[in-house]
């Protein structure tokens, strides 16, 4: 057995439930889901399509309210009525989605897209220097700020989306299948960038993936979801070497070549 993580949680979910629809056709997208993201930690959420991962993320981002249960930022209860806390959540928890093609506005310059969260948070400008800094941080040229997303490759667009997410200096970065839409050769660079940014900024990372190998490379802890439940959770090294659930074993067996689990 491992020692429970001593670091306080920056973001946590407590017994979340969410049902869609009514009657016999209703779906329990989440059925009592709890998890804690330690400050500066990295948690991978894995599970097949329909497991409830996206529903959980929407709740962690404050975009959807659970039927029951709680989301907490540090130890504070997030509710729609607590506007100040909701604003903190929106700033402190940022997200990168699977497909940078649809998440970046093609009409906006890259610089303008990256500065968007700063404007939305009404953070004082000018933002030009911060945008240049962010482009460098994700391995792009600061001069690229004037260009449009169509001029970039898929991997570069994902770097731009990451720069935008980093702009308001989040405490938690949520990456929702961040490399699934990318070529295998490009994936490695994006994963390395996420790892590097995490160690540089100290932000926590929540990574959703159906791919255990991706989670194994970046996350200290893994949460396995199925049918709206957390069926298994624990430190990555432990869960990879000694999975308790048949389903987890199946997920691991689907990985062609297991990476070295991070100790």
For ligand ATP, the binding residues (CB under 6 A) are 20, 27, 29, 47, 49-55
- Minimum distance of ligand ATP from residue 21's CB (angstroms): 6
- Minimum distance of ligand ATP from residue 51's CB (angstroms): 4
Residue whose CB is less far from ligand ATP, 31 or 70: 31
- Minimum distance of ligand ATP from residue 52's CB (angstroms): 4
Which residues are registered as beta bridge partners of 172?
A: 93, 204
d(CA 120, CA 171) in angstroms, rounded, equals 17
Cα–Cα distance list, 191 to 66, 89, 118, 198 (Å): 31, 25, 25, 11
Question: Which of 247, 252, 225, 230 lies closest to 51 in space, CA to CA?
Answer: 225
d(CA 98, CA 181) in angstroms, rounded, equals 6
The answer to whether residues 26 and 20 touch, using CB atoms and an 8 Å cutoff, is yes
Residue whose CB is less far from ligand ATP, 32 or 139: 32
Residue whose CB is less far from ligand ATP, 171 or 209: 209
- Minimum distance of ligand ATP from residue 107's CB (angstroms): 27
Residue whose CB is less far from ligand ATP, 35 or 144: 35
């Amino acid at each position: 057995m491992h020692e429970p993580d001593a670091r306080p949680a920056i973001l946590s979910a407590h017994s979340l439930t969410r049902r869609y629809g009514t009657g016999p056709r209703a779906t329990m997208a989440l059925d009592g889901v709890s998890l804690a993201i330690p400050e500066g930690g990295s948690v991978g959420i894995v599970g097949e399509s329909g497991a409830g991962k996206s529903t959980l993320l929407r709740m962690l981002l404050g975009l959807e309210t659970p039927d029951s249960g709680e989301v907490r930022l540090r130890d504070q209860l997030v509710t729609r009525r607590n506007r100040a806390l909701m604003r903190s959540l929106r700033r402190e928890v940022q997200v990168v989605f699977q497909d940078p093609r649809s998440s970046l506005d093609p009409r906006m310059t890259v610089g303008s897209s990256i500065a968007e969260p700063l404007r939305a948070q009404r953070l004082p400008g000018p933002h030009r220097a911060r945008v240049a800094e962010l482009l460098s941080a994700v391995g792009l040229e600061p001069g690229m700020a004037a260009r449009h997303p169509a001029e970039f490759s898929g991997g570069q667009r994902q770097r731009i989306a990451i720069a935008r997410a980093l702009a308001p200096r989040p405490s938690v970065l949520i990456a929702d299948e961040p490399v699934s839409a990318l070529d295998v050769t490009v994936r490695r660079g994006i994963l390395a960038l996420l790892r590097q940014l995490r160690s540089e900024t100290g932000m926590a990372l929540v990574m959703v993936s159906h791919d255990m190998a991706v989670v194994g490379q970046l996350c200290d802890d893994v949460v396995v979801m199925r049918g709206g439940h957390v069926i298994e959770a624990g430190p990555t090294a432990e869960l990879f070497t000694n999975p308790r659930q048949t389903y987890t074993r199946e997920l691991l067996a689907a990985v062609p070549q297991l990476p070295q689990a991070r100790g």
